[in-house]
Each structure stands twice: as C-alpha cells, then as structure tokens.
Structure 1
Amino acid sequence: MAKQNLSVADDPDEGELRYRAPALEKGLDIVELLATSPRPMPPKQISEHLNRSVSELFRMIAVLEHRGYVAMAENQSGYELTNKLFSLGMSRGVSKNLLDYAIPAMRALSDEILQATHIVVTSDDQVVVIGQMDAPAAPSFHIRVGYRQDIVESTAGVVLYAYQNPLSKSAWRKALQPTVSASDWTRFEQQAIHAREKGVLVAQSAYSESITDIACPVFSDRGLIGAIIIPYIRSKLSLSVESCAQALVETCASLSNALGAAQHQGA
C-alpha cells in the first residue's frame, strides 16, 4: 500500500487539525500571503515572511506557477496571485447563478445610463468585484474583476452592511469597528442608516474626487447576495445622478425578483 504523506498530530487540542499535510500547508501559506500583499513579492521576501528558506519554498512556487495560481509580475518584481482561484470560485453555486442573471441586467443598465457598472460581494472584511460592464461610447471608470476594497472604505460595503440582519450586523460591527477611527465609523454607520432608508446610496468615491458612487443591494431567495455599484462620471452624454440612481434601483429590484427574492426583501 502506498504510504500516505500525512502526519497525525499528537493529542491535538480542540479545534486543531488532527491530520497535517506539510507540503500542502506550505503552498497554502504562499497563496494566502500573496493574497494579502499589496504588491508582488520575490521568493526571498516570501521566505522571510513565512520564516522558511528560499530552497524550501522553491518547488512550491514552481508548482503554483505551473498550475496558474501565481505568476511573475509584468515588471518582474516578484510573484502575485492570478485570478484562477477567483475564477474557480465564480464557476460554482450562488456566485455563478448571480452572474448569469446580473451580467445581462448590468449590460442593459450601462447601455441606458452610459455609465460603467460593477457587481460586488463580500469576502472577509473586503468587497470584491465579481463582474463589470464598461459604459458604451462614454467616459467611464473601469475596475477589473477581482479588485478588492475594505468594506468600511467602499460605498457598496456600506450598503451591504446596512442590509445585514441584526445578528450579522453585530458580528460585522465587532470585526470592522476596531480597524477604523471613531469618526470614520460614525460616518460609516450614518451612511448605512441613510442607505437603508433610501434603498440606494449616493456618496463621494473614496477612490477619486471626480467619481460619485451609486450603490444598491441585490437579493436572492437566500437573502442579501451582493450589490451593484455605478462609479458615476459626469460628462456631456451623462444622465443626472438622480436618474442613474433610479435606474439602478429598478435594475436591482428586477434582478432580485429574477433571483427569487421575496417581495419587499430587506425592507
């Protein structure tokens, strides 16, 4: 019988892994480290962060690169994650179903208002863009699929927080509040109240002073599932912010109905 490359922990504490796979854990350590790094990392830097030798991690990085999970940055400054893990996650279950319905709706909305649209979901303490649609024949702000932003710094994050049930909102508050200043948290909470009251949030983008974010929640039969955001840029061809906000509300309501949300979901 082939030998299993697994070791059994002696007297593991409650919640501790009983079985260990050291090679797999090294690979996952690399993936998780690159996922949190704001810039590419060379092997030496990776080894220093993980407290392992470069030679110990060399084969792990080579395999991850061969399988398409990491890649050398264009400027050759180090390794960075590709979108492969993200794509795998989007190809299944709730996320795939959401995109199947959302992309046509976003395309129709962008055609109507001549603005780009993006759909985001939460991932830990961040929102992540899972789909986007550029504006036709008009200036627009393009955000790549996979882009992440802290929940408390994102207009869509405010909306997603606003529509959590009380238990989930309490958990979010416990996790997020310590990461920001008291004044920023007060602003975040006030915006969430406003978003809940209006059903849509219009706010200055944290990314650029020339962009006004317009965000609205999307529901499915399982409850809150994501949010669509318009990074609004004023131009000679653009509709008013108010017109875009109304069109977004109508699109999100129609999309939510298509996804099986109960009538007046989140009210």
Structure 2
Amino acid sequence: MKENQKTKYNTPALDKGLDIIEYLSKEGIPLSQVEIAQGINRTPSEIYRMLVCLEERGYLLRGVNAGKYRLSLKMYSLSHTHTPFDELKRVARYPMQTLSEVTKQSCHLSIMNNDQLLVISQERSPSAVSLSIEEGTHFPLSKTSSGITLLSVISEVDRNTILSRDMYYKNWKVKEKEVFIKEIEKVKKEGYRMAKSKLTSGITDLAIPIGANSDLIAVLAISVFTSSLKEEVDEDFLLKSLKTAQREINQFIVT
C-alpha cells in the first residue's frame, strides 16, 4: 500500500456527508452552506446535494429565516438504540446503588469518547447534600482523576496517541509532561487514584478502573467534599467499598 493511500476504496459522497456531520458537531452552532463548505475545504456547490439529502433523512435541520443548518437529535437517538455500554450500565446499576448507599456519596461511571471522558451513568447520594455529575457530560482526560485512571489501563502507544491530541497536554512543558506520566504510572501500579479535583476546588475524586482486562473499559468514581475526608468520611472505607463495586461489575463483563 502506498504511503499516502488512506483507504482501499474511495467513497466521496460518504466522505462529504461525514465531513458535514462531524464539522457541525465540532462547531456546535448553526452554519450556512457557505460556512460549512469553508470549514471542510469544499465549495458550496459540492455539498449542496449532500445537505439536501441529510436534511431529508432527518440528520440536519435548517432554520426558516437564516437558512442555517444544525444537527438534529437523530444521531443521538441512533447512538442510544444499542451500544456495548448499555449492558455495562445495566450490570453496574445495582453495585452503584449499593456503593452510594453504604458510602453516602454519589458515584458515576465514565468511558472514553473522542479522546474525552464521558459520564454515562451516575447514582445520587441518599444524603440531603451531595455532588452530582450529569450523564452525558464530557471532561478532558488530562484534567480528571477518572481520565488519568482510564489512561493508566490502555497501551502506551494508544495513550501517547490520545495525549498528542489533548489540548492541555500538548501545550505543557517537558517537565509537566514527565510529572503527568508519572501520575499515570502510579495509578497503574496502585490500581486506583485519589486526588483533589483539577477542575473543581474543594472536591477530591477517588477513581478505579472497570473491565481493565476486557475490551470494555470504564472508570467508576466517587467525588467527595475534601473538607469531609478524615473528619466525616474514612478514605479506607471509601476505597474498600469502591473495590467491592469494581469486583461485582467486573464479574459480568471481564472476558
């Protein structure tokens, strides 16, 4: 195969359609035909028929006045019809409920999606005051304990590839990168990560990998108020409870 040859077969129409969908998803705002064409390095006439097709099929919606295109919820609907993570959410539900009840803390389950951390399930704390992380929320891998935990269980090659695209990591100095890699190696050795949140002050995260020996990798985490640790909440008890939930979930998904 030649060095510049990317695919075995050329599918220009499909490429244009996917380029449009991916660009609109990335931009997150309604765009005109001209703006979309400029964004994907094509001419407006090249993408006209594709825009019409995507609109007719329900993937795009067009404003009545400005005539700008935006993504519909069809992609979201299709992606939630059935995914490998549906079963993970199902088998994790009871262990997460138990974890929340015994620790009196909220917990959440996350996966890697487009080089980011995606929260796919959460169980709220039974306490009157608790932390909540909504399902469907994305976070940078390099800025979260769950993200660092995920990076600790994938291959070094995959990890380096992902980090090369991370908007934070690629702008760090060499020393910062070295410290970060050491953090990942520590999590890999210890099997969990407990650290103060880099995104929210006053919060400490405790994360542990799920399905590390399978093709279905996720992270289960608890986020607690830092001030309550040691005074109201015992770290060892949290970790013990988290490991129990990990074992219960893994027995259903590890292959």
Q: Give the alignment's TM-score, normalised by structure 2.
A: 0.74
Which amino acid is 1:119 matched to? Answer: L
Aligned residue among 242, 247, 252 for 1:253: 247
Q: Structure 1 36/194 Cα, relative in aligned 2: closer, same or farther at 3 Å?
A: same
Cross-structure match for 1:171: 158
Cross-structure match for 2:140: 150
SS in 1 for 2:217: strand
Cross-structure match for 2:29: 40
SS in 2 for 1:149: strand
SS in 2 for 1:129: strand
* Equivalenced residues, count: 238
Deviation at 1:86, TM superposition (A): 5.2
Percent identity over the alignment is 21
Structure 2 segments unaligned to the other structure (5+ residues): none
Cross-structure match for 1:129: 119
Aligned residue among 217, 226, 229 for 2:221: 229
Contact 2:214–2:253, Cα closer than 8 Å, also in 1 = no
Cα distance between partner residues in 1 of 2:70 and 2:95 = 32
Give per-residue Cα distances to partners, 1:203-253, cap 9 Å, x unaligned: 121221122111100117625621112222358796344432321122112
Cα distance between partner residues in 1 of 2:120 and 2:29 = 22
Q: Structure 1 87/238 Cα, relative in aligned 2: closer, same or farther at 3 Å?
A: farther
Which amino acid is 1:219 matched to? Answer: G
Pair 1:205 & 2:205 matched: no
Q: Give the alignment's TM-score, normalised by structure 1.
A: 0.72
Contact 2:202–2:227, Cα closer than 8 Å, also in 1 = no
Which amino acid is 1:239 matched to? Answer: V
What RMSD over aligned residues (CA atoms) do the two structures have, in Å?
3.5
Structure 1 segments unaligned to the other structure (5+ residues): 1-12, 262-267
